[in-house]
Structure 1
Amino acid sequence: MKRIAFLLALIAPAAEAAPTLSLPPSAMRTAEDRTELGSHALPVGPWKDGRMETIRTEGEVTQTAWRIRDGNLTTMALLATLRDQLGREGFEILFECDADDCGGFDFRFAMSCLPEPEMHVDLGDFRFLSARRGTAGAPDYVSLLVSRSSDSGYVQMTRIGAALVEPLPIAAAEFSPRESAPAPDSLGDQLVARGKVVLDDLRFASGAAELGADDFPSLAALAEFLKANPDKSIALVGHTDAEGTLPANVAVSRKRAQSVMARLVESYGVNPAQLSADGVGFLSPLASNLTPEGRTQNRRVEAMITSTR
C-alpha cells in the first residue's frame, strides 16, 4: 500500500530532474537553516589524530532536520534505505561511518549540526554519510546524519550546491526500510538489537547521584543478561539535565553511572570485569530540558554493549 512520506528535494544538474528521498509517513520537519551562498566543511573521514578530514564545498548550504516518531526503526535501517535512494539518484558515497568508527564525541562536535531538541544526536547511536553527484562544473554534495531517542528517529540532511528554485516539496512516495524486525521484548533483547538501553526505572533528583535502596527490575534484568553472556561487556553511561555547568554535570553523571555499577556488583553479583562507568553530562538529552518532565527523563543511566563479538 502506498504510504504518504515527506520528500527531501535535492538539487540536480540543469540537465537532470531534481531527485528526491522519501522518509516514513510519521516524519515531521523540525528545523531548517539556509545560507544562500556559503562554504561548508564536508566530513569525508573520521576523527583521527586530533582532526577530522573534510573537503571545502561551496554554494547554497541548507541543513534540514526531521523527527520520525517510530520507536522500532533503527539507525542502521533508516540510513540503509536513504543510502540506497541516493545511489539510485546518481550520488557516489564519499564516506560512511557509525558512532564508534566516526570518532564518537569528537566527530559529532567537530561537524556542523542543528541544535537540540530539533536534531537529537545520541553519542552512542548515530550514523553519518557524505555523498557527491557530478564531478565537472558545480557538483552537488549531500550529507546525512541519523540518530534516535527512545521513541523517535532523527535525520539531518545537509545539502550544498546550486540554489534551489522551489522549497522542499511534500509528495506521495513509498518508504520500505531494508531492516525490519518486531520490537524487542526483554532488556537483553533490546541490548542485542539496539546496542544500548535506558535503565528507565532508575530515578535521580537534580544534581544527585545516589541510587535509592529499592529493587530495580532493570538492574536485575541487566545482571541476568551479563551472567548469561560472560563474553559481553557493558558501559554504564550517566546523563543529566541541563541545570548547572557542563563540568559539574559530567561529574554528577559519572557518579550516577558508578553508583549503578556498584549496585550491580554488590547486590546482583555481576562480575566487575564486565562493567565500566562514565558520564557525558547534558550532552545527549532524550527530551527537552525546557519542561520538568523532560529534565526528569534526561536524568538517567544507559547500558551500552561495548564488546564487539
Structure 2
Amino acid sequence: MRFFPILALLTFLAAPAFAQDIVSDAPGASDPSGLKRIEGALIIGYDQSGFDEMSIPTSKVTYDGPQSSTTLEGPRTRVIYLVPGDRSPLEVIRNYEAELSEAGYETLYACGKQDCGPASAMSQYLYPRDAQLKTLGRVSAAVFSLPRDDQRYLVATNPQTGRTVSIYAAFETFDHFPQLYEKTLVLMDVIDGAPLTRRMEFVSAEEMALGLKAEGRVSLYGIHFTHDSDALTPESDPTLEEIAKFLNASSDMQVFVVGHTDMTGGFDYNIDLSQRRATSVAKALSERYGVSASRLQAAGIGPLAPVAENLSEEGRALNRRVELVRR
C-alpha cells in the first residue's frame, strides 16, 4: 500500500495534459487584416508586435540555419491555426497560394517536404523555443514539437503594399496534447513593410514641466520595454534621465507614474503588465537616479485611457506609453 501514492503520481505525470477540446479562437485573437483562414480553423496562438524584424528563409534550412535568408522589418502579426479534420499541409498551402495570388502577391520562396530541410530544423527556425507563444499556455508553446516531414512553406509579398506573408504548415505527431495530435498546424507571420513611424520620443525636462503645468500630465514614448515584459531597455535611459532632472529641479513635485497598454490580449493581463511597467519605471528613478520613492506612485491602467483607436498598429503604438501625472 505504501507504493500506491507513488504509482498514482507516475500515472498522473504520464497522462496527457489539457485534454479538453479547443472549440473557439483564443481570447483576443483575430485573423490578420485582409487575410482569410482555412475553413473551420481555430486560432491557438496569437501575438502582435510593433516595429519588429524577422528572418525569412529563402532556401533549405539545416540545423545550422538556412543557406540564404532575408530580413524583413515592420509591424508583425503572428497567428497559429489548428486546422480541422484531415486537411493536409499541401492542401493548406495550395489554398493560400491561390488566395494570395488573386490578391496580387508574388511568391518569394516555396518548398515542400525534404526540400525545406528536416522538419525539426525548419520548425525550430521559424518557431524557436525562446519565442514560443503562451496564448493557450503549454498547448500553444508545444506546437511543432514533433512535426512530420510532410511540411510545406510559402512566403509571398505584395509589391504594392509592401506586406509579406510567411506560412508554414506541418503535421503534428507529438501526442502529449490530444488537441494537436495528428492535426495540421499553421504558423502565419504577416510583416507590414510600412516605414518606421518617427515619433518625438525625447521629451526634455523643461517640456515635462510645461506639460504638467498646462495639463497635469505628460505622455512619454521614449520609455521602452522588452516585448511582453516589464524590463526596461537601454533606449529608455535618456528619458529616465530627463524625468530625474525635472523632478530634482522641482523638489516639491509628486507624481503618479502611469503605465498604459493597447487592447491586444486579455484585460487582466494588460492591467497587470501596465502596473509592472509603471513600477519598473518608478524603481529605476529611485534606485538609479536618486529620486525619493515617496514622490513616486506607480499605477497601471492597461487599455482604459486610449489616445487613439486600437484597430491599426499606428493607433496601438500611440496607446502604449508611460505618463507622468501630477499628484
TM-score normalized by the length of structure 1: 0.38
Determine which structure has more spread, i.e. the larger CA radius of gyration.
Answer: 2
RCO comparison, higher one (Cα < 8 Å, 6+): 1
- Could you say which structure has the higher strand fraction? 1
- Could you say which structure has the higher helix fraction? 2
TM-score normalized by the length of structure 2: 0.36
